[in-house]
């Protein structure tokens, strides 16, 4: 016999069935299967100070595009406070992973703790940070101390173990600059007749590298047998200064630098530079591979190293067309 109670129960059963069917057929944001959710990565880039940096940015953007990663990208114009602002913005946007190339090693503790409290893992890319290791998950980048040692060994061959060297350091406080300096000095210990007679920061840029080299030439001119630059861009600036001074770069003053960008291969092919120690900027694939693993709760290695070579003037012409950055 029909009662109102039975009728209400029947109607609610029908409505419940319909709503469950609707859920099953039109996945919404809330019931989107986790595996189909787009990975969201915030990247706080330093700026565009060198060919190397531009190559790294291109690698990260192109790889994100290819993999369908939602990349939030910020350019800090070389300022740490802008990188810190970007990290706070990524936290507010609740990205899955935060990555950055720390412009300098210090000053990250507070904002990294904020990311940790928000349960967002941090990946360091191409430069280190002096913080407690628990505040970041992995460092993807090169062994800068080894790069400095390799540069010293190459310099010894060029100078026959004897000569005065001027050094163009990278950005003050940057791990790449600190460690390339450390590695080069350690490498020189085996060669007591090779001396660094002047050392100053050229901030990893061509313009500043040229300006500092001009000052070195003014004070020490023909007393300089070689220049060691922490990156190729400063070396290219130094080459211009040496030529304007009236000497032959690569001949009168040997040129050894780090990165392996196209510009230094062109200089080596023209006989104006002697050696570049490679530092690979194409880190996009390694970055998003690590980010994907972290977002899925998987572990990643503490240091994901990049493979690198050493390139000399005698092979520059044939290698140049094969270079990807």
Closest separation in Å from C-beta 259 to ligand GZL: 5
* Residue whose CB is less far from ligand GZL, 142 or 169: 142
Angle at 168 between CA 58 and CA 304, to 5 degrees: 45
Distance, CA of 112 to CA of 134 (rounded, Å): 10
* Residue whose CB is less far from ligand GZL, 105 or 259: 259
- Residues linked to residue 249 through DSSP beta bridges, in sequence order: 253
308 binds ligand GZL (CB under 6 A): no
Q: Return the range that interacts with ligand GZL (CB under 6 A); candidates 48-56, 104-112, 114-122, 269-277.
A: 48-56
DSSP classification of residue 249: B
Q: What's the token pair of residue 286? A: 């390694």
Closest separation in Å from C-beta 243 to ligand GZL: 22
Closest separation in Å from C-beta 20 to ligand GZL: 54
Distance, CA of 147 to CA of 223 (rounded, Å): 26
Q: Which residues of 179-202 are buried (b: 16+ CB within 10 A; e: fewer)?
A: bbbebbeebbeebeebeeebbbbb
- The enclosing H or E element of 139 equals strand 138-141
Closest separation in Å from C-beta 232 to ligand GZL: 7
286 binds ligand GZL (CB under 6 A): no
126 binds ligand GZL (CB under 6 A): yes
Binding mask 240-269 toward ligand GZL (x if CB under 6 A, else -) reads: ------------------xx----------
Three-state DSSP class for residue 45: strand
* Residue whose CB is less far from ligand GZL, 44 or 295: 44
* Residue whose CB is less far from ligand GZL, 206 or 272: 206
Residue 56: name the closest of 100, 19, 117, 24 by CA.
Answer: 100
* Residue whose CB is less far from ligand GZL, 126 or 154: 126
* Residue whose CB is less far from ligand GZL, 53 or 254: 53
Closest separation in Å from C-beta 31 to ligand GZL: 42
Question: What's the CA dihedral at 175, 178, 183, 184 to 10 degrees?
Answer: 130
Of residues 136-195, those binding ligand GZL (CB under 6 A): 141-142, 176
* Residue whose CB is less far from ligand GZL, 164 or 205: 205
127 binds ligand GZL (CB under 6 A): yes
Closest separation in Å from C-beta 118 to ligand GZL: 26
Q: Return the range that interacts with ligand GZL (CB under 6 A); candidates 15-23, 45-53, 106-114, 149-157.
A: 45-53
Q: What's the token pair of residue 213? A: 């080299």
- Backbone φ and ψ for 195, nearest 5 degrees, come out as -130, 140
Three-state DSSP class for residue 140: strand
Question: How far from 142 is each of 73, 125, 251, 289, 325, CA to CA, in Å?
Answer: 22, 9, 29, 17, 16
Give the binding site for ligand GZL (CB under 6 A). Answer: 49-50, 52-53, 126-127, 141-142, 176, 204, 231, 233, 258-259, 279
């Amino acid at each position: 016999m029909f009662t109102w109670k039975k009728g209400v129960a029947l109607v609610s059963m029908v409505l419940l069935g319909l709503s469950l069917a609707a859920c099953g057929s039109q996945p919404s944001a809330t019931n989107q299967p986790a595996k189909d959710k787009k990975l969201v990565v915030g990247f706080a880039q330093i700026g565009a100070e060198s060919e190397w940096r531009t190559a790294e940015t291109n690698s990260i953007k192109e790889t994100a595009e290819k993999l369908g990663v939602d990349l939030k990208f910020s350019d800090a114009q070389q300022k740490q406070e802008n990188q810190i602002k970007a990290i706070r913005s990524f936290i507010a946007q609740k990205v899955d992973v935060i990555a950055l190339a720390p412009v300098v090693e210090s000053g990250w503790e507070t904002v990294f703790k904020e990311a940790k409290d928000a349960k967002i893992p941090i990946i360091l890319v191409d430069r280190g940070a002096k913080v407690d290791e628990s505040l970041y998950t992995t460092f993807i980048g090169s062994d800068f101390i080894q790069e400095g040692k390799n540069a010293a060994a190459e310099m010894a061959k060029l100078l026959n173990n004897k000569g005065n060297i001027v050094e163009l350091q990278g950005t003050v406080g940057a791990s790449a600059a600190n460690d390339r300096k450390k590695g080069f000095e350690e490498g020189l210990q085996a060669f007591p007749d090779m001396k660094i007679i002047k050392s100053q920061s050229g901030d990893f840029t061509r313009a500043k590298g040229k300006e500092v080299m001009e000052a070195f030439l003014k004070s020490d001119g023909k007393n300089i047998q070689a220049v060691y630059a922490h990156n190729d861009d400063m070396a290219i600036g130094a080459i211009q200064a040496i030529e304007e001074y009236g000497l032959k770069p690569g001949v009168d003053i040997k040129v050894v630098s780090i990165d392996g960008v196209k510009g230094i291969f062109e200089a080596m092919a023209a006989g104006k530079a002697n050696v570049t120690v490679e530092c690979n900027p194409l880190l996009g694939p390694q970055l998003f591979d690590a980010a994907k693993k972290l977002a899925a709760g998987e572990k990643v290695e503490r240091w994901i190293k990049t493979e690198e070579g050493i390139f000399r003037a005698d092979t520059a012409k044939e290698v140049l067309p094969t270079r990807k950055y």
